[in-house]
């Protein structure tokens, strides 16, 4: 089964408020970590509905 990773990435960025809301991005083997400018603009239901998004944490 093939996955369109570019489409998933675009969906994630859109759900977190767009490129302008991203202050930094880091990654490890299984996770992406976004530092956001404004956490209040995140569309959490939309983010959770994206296939491949297993969870969301906030610090």
H or E segment and range at residue 12: helix 5-15
**What contacts 24+ positions apart, CB below 8 Å, involve 27-35?**
none
Catalytic residues: 28
Alpha carbon distance 13, 19 (integer Å): 6
């Amino acid at each position: 089964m093939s996955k369109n990773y570019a489409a998933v990435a675009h969906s994630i960025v859109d759900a977190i408020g767009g490129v302008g809301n991203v202050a930094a991005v880091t990654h490890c083997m299984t996770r992406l970590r976004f530092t956001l400018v404004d956490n209040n603009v995140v569309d959490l239901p939309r983010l959770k509905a994206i296939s491949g998004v297993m969870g969301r944490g906030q610090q």
